[in-house]
Structure 1
């Protein structure tokens, strides 16, 4: 049996008692889009999308992020019966997609939920087969229907796509479209709050505009400077800043997949760092390994600044403040 089917079967079996135990719950507490307090129940795979949903929904939504700790790796997260119950109660579901948080697909399939699902990767211009998005002020306009993924809960196509970088939350432009769709879906679910959601989206979009302006400033001053990344997590941000990725693809791919970096590739990477052409090294603060340590040591020996980026919103931050800090930190390394 394929691994995905095994996961779905295990989740279904493990959650029978948990779901049955809620059969007598108060109306709206299970299998409903709203809790007893009338708020829309939003479930996000990580706190990145949970924070964005909170920014758009405000006090009209209750948001649950399945992964919110930097100690957890979404790539390898194993969902629980509790997670399945959470999904079964959702009125709106937000996932990254692209194989990043595939546990969400298993949960959605196991519950048979009919809640709308927003899949962030499908709003990226780089996503294979993606519809063109209008770039004018991130407006809905007439693009919503064309850009919105079909809501048929067929998640077989959400596996990792070779050559596509699924870490789209590091692309503010994509996130603007995701936030726009969150506002749209919440307005469909809770028509009385539609104006509030659109107003909150406008405020969030203004914050995205600020991020993009900061990235444009970096590009104007530092276009072409080289950055080395141990994993492809921040590559969208690097590209938006006009910077060049100097990392051998085989290096970052091996590190991301938890595999040993081939010796020849590691030597190539270390020589790149010694060349004096790299302005900044960015590592993933949530993962590591011998090769990452070697790169960090080599960068410090060569006087290259080393930044640590995460895959989740740090405690005390919002998506916007987190990205603003990442951009500021990056800009601070490009003065040489």
Structure 2
């Protein structure tokens, strides 16, 4: 979204929310002795928060549908009202869900914010994603950083710990429950690590082609090598045309016999994506698709396990 469009969106949001927020007192259900109100940018983090918080929290995920793209999502006055009542806010950061910064600014919430990207081992030491500048272009994409950090088990482990710690500060009476839930969740994440290690043991060093960098961390943790031309994945992610020379390079890679799997994004597509899918079909390269939001009826762990199993099956 360009600067002028985002500015108009935030101005409209503030104006529309004036009537919605009028007469609403500050504070939250948690502060009144009820369940803590947790707001997550997407249902990926919402489900993790629900697992850690259990019966002590109510969780609202702003983006919860595969038809909604967090990159370009435009929040409503209702979303602002939800954030204004939050006890805890969880975002991805790194430019992925920049709308959260606008909601925090417009709502005036003082709730603590967990930014998953900042907990990633890959987060650049000099990167800036500070909510002191919320609502400004500082929340744009961080150059050279893959912001799809929920596909990295280590980052999600750190996020779950941060959630447990923050909830314990907000509701000390349930601190032991939050810690126990986080420990159980961590054990499930250990299972994902083991499954990825199995792929690395059997297929380490083999090549994959990804139309977008969404599952990049998962692919790396499985010991696989991403050979996608950067110009191709950047164009697809930004919904721009792929240069003919870049498309030809991609098609030659897929037809060259070294690419073992083609990975696409269920939530995006286009002529160039279809071209590489067709090439993969022609040359007998398996194609699998990953999504950016949690499929209905899945937990984070069951979703990632299904992704890992699909990758393992395609490689086999």
TM-score above 0.5, yes or no: yes
Distance 2:192 2:304 in 1: 7
CA contact (8 A) 1:278 1:304 kept: yes
Residue of structure 2 in register with 1:146 after alignment: none
Match of 2:270 among 259, 278, 289: 289
How far off its partner does 1:246 sit?
1.2
Give the length in aligned residue pairs.
312
CA contact (8 A) 2:129 2:139 kept: no
2:71 aligns to what SS in structure 1?
Answer: helix
CA contact (8 A) 2:93 2:129 kept: no
Match of 1:261 among 228, 242, 253: 242
1:118 aligns to what SS in structure 2?
Answer: strand
Runs of 5+ unmatched residues, structure 2? none
1:115 aligns to what SS in structure 2?
Answer: coil
Residue of structure 2 in register with 1:10 after alignment: 12
The question of 1:176 aligning with 2:178 is answered: no
How far off its partner does 1:32 sit?
1.7
Cα distance, 1:57–1:153 mapped onto 2, change above 3 Å: farther
1:261 aligns to what SS in structure 2?
Answer: coil
* TM-score of the aligned structures, taking structure 1 as reference length: 0.89
Spell out the pairing of 1:1-336 with structure 2 (5 A cutoff).
2-3=3-4, 4-20=6-22, 22=24, 31-32=27-28, 34=30, 38-129=34-125, 153-155=132-134, 156=136, 157-335=138-316
CA contact (8 A) 2:94 2:139 kept: yes
How far off its partner does 1:60 sit?
0.4
Distance 2:219 2:29 in 1: 38
CA contact (8 A) 1:35 1:41 kept: no
Runs of 5+ unmatched residues, structure 1? 24-29, 132-148
Cα distance, 1:160–1:191 mapped onto 2, change above 3 Å: same
* TM-score of the aligned structures, taking structure 2 as reference length: 0.94
CA contact (8 A) 1:109 1:153 kept: no
Measured against aligned partners, the alpha-carbon deviations of 1:65-124 in whole angstroms (never above 9, x if no partner) come to 001110111111110000000000100000000110011011001112100000000001
Greater than 6 Å deviation, 4+ residue runs: none
How far off its partner does 1:19 sit?
0.6
